[in-house]
Amino acid sequence: MKKLYIETYGCQMNVADSEVVAAILSDEYEITHAQEEADLILINTCSVRDNAEQRIRKRLRELKSYKNKKEHLKIGLLGCMAERIKERLLDEESTLDFIAGPDAYRSLPRLISESSYKQPAFDVMLSTTETYDEIEPVRCDTNGVSAFISIMRGCNNFCTYCVVPYTRGRERSRNPQTILREAQTALDNGYKEVTLLGQNVNSYHWEDETGKVTNFAQLMALVAQLSPQLRVRFATSHPKDISDELIETIARYPNLCKYIHLPVQAGSNTMLKRMNRVYTREYYLDRIATIRRLIPDCAIATDIIAGFCGETEEDHQATLSLMREVGYDYAYMFKYSVREGTMAAKKFEDDVPDEVKSRRLEEIIALQQELSYQSNLKDVGKSFEILVEGVSKRSDKQLFGRNSQNKVIIFDCGNHQKGDYVTVTVTDCTAATLMGVER
């Protein structure tokens, strides 16, 4: 068989998409992790931030000279960047033989056969129905312990800074029975954890031919019931849709991980309105209070954007104060970058100077470092069941794994190996990691 090499950039959704692509091409190609063996190289792209696109452009320039040495090599570009700027890429990147958007992966065999760098082929049409729900993914780049399962595609929220509704289309959910089959297959193949993925999993909605509706809380319960030995995570949530029913469901099942990623993006109502987040600071804090009340041991992570259009120093301070009030365990933090085609690019001026964005981001990162360290300090002396994911980078005599709260814990190997559940008592910590000993 021919060899397929896939590079995946961006979010976990892209990782899941790469596994779908590998399945679609599996009749003709098998996965290789060595670029020099490849007959076909696919770059699965991300457009959420400018930095991601610049990295991909640099990578394509590197591949251009590499391709000149391999006569029969084909190179294709997939995903959000393909959807967003296909014309520009075809003009600029003679490296590429073909381009396929997120809803066009079924057409890849045709695109590959028809294409050449002298006459690139492309298909970037968005779909209102495509979910790839009957395709069994090829787990090509995992640790053999945790698997990603895409439960829906697209987004209806249209946050003003975000390209996702334009690159991935509108929301559509998968049939829950196909999700359960995929989770059961992962379990049968030795996986101990699945992460249910969507741009906004809280809005998952499936109605069958009888009119019976399955919402996200009910789907989580169904997956949890497959086996108490299967951990279940999800990403990512929109605060406007995180229901009491979902929070109560997470509290009810021990194997539903006690970790919620709840992006806030900004702490001031002025900025939240300009971002079209459709909730207020007060509503967000109410959701946090409900999580704390119903799941006292739940870890909470977030996303924060520094320097969005029109952000004042007062707005920035409101973000810092909200961070302190919530006490996040972890955060993904970024400077705002204009994304062409979004409402922010059309309506607002990117008027916060870059040096101000950088300074505000540094303050956000410094505060989160402090909050993460304080969170980890509270865990010293506690015992957790962790799922071992592999050997520590620091020492081959140590293993690492995650607890239900998604915190990494390092401990001595003993007789354990990847995929084992081990109870570990935390003895020390940094802002990023817990250290412990087997109990």
Is residue 140 pLDDT above 90, yes or no? no
Cross-strand bridge partners of residue 214: 206
Is residue 202 pLDDT above 90, yes or no? yes
47 confidence band (pLDDT: 50, 70, 90): confident
Is residue 314 pLDDT above 80, yes or no? yes
Peptide bond into 95 cis (omega under 30): no
- What is the full DSSP assignment across 341-355? TSHHHHH----S-HH
91 confidence band (pLDDT: 50, 70, 90): low
Mean pLDDT in residue range 85-92: 67
Residue range 220-248, pLDDT digits in tens: 999 999 999 999 999 999 999 999 999 99
Q: What angle do CA 129, 134, 136 make, to 5 degrees?
A: 130
Of 232, 307, 217, 215, which Cα lies nearest the Cα of 268?
307
Give backbone dihedrals phi and psi of 115, rounded to 5 degrees, phi first. Answer: -95, 160
pLDDT of residue 41: 96
Can you name the CATH fold of 142-257?
Answer: Transcription Regulator spoIIAA (3.30.750)
Mean pLDDT in residue range 258-282: 98
User: Could you state, in order of their start, the residue ranges of all structural domains in the chain?
Assistant: 2-123, 142-257, 259-266+290-378, 383-438
Mean pLDDT in residue range 427-437: 97
Residue 177: DSSP 8-state: H
Q: What percent of the chain has pLDDT over 70?
A: 97
Is residue 174 pLDDT above 90, yes or no? yes
Taking the C-alpha atoms of residue 174 and residue 151, their distance in angstroms, rounded to an integer, is 5
Whole-model pTM: value is 0.94
270 confidence band (pLDDT: 50, 70, 90): very high
Alpha-helix residue ranges (DSSP H) falling in 256-413: 269-274, 281-294, 313-326, 343-347, 354-377
Per mean pLDDT, which range of 65-74, 173-182, 295-304 is the poorest? 65-74
pLDDT of residue 84: 72
117 confidence band (pLDDT: 50, 70, 90): low
Cα 155 to chain center, whole Å?
Answer: 14
Under CATH, to which class is 259-266+290-378 assigned?
alpha beta
Q: Which CATH architecture does the domain made up of 383-438 adopt?
A: Beta Barrel (2.40)
Per mean pLDDT, which range of 68-82, 100-114, 152-166 is the poorest? 68-82
Average pLDDT of every residue of the chain:
94
pLDDT of residue 86: 67
Mean pLDDT in residue range 412-424: 94
Residue range 373-408, pLDDT digits in tens: 999 999 999 999 999 999 998 899 999 999 999 999
pLDDT of residue 67: 87
Is residue 90 pLDDT above 70, yes or no? no
* Domain 383-438 in the same topology as domain 259-266+290-378: no
The CATH number corresponding to 2-123 among 3.40.50.2300, 3.40.50.920, 3.90.1150.10, 3.40.50.12160 equals 3.40.50.12160
pLDDT of residue 433: 96
92 confidence band (pLDDT: 50, 70, 90): low
Q: Are 111 and 100 in contact (CB under 8 A)?
A: yes
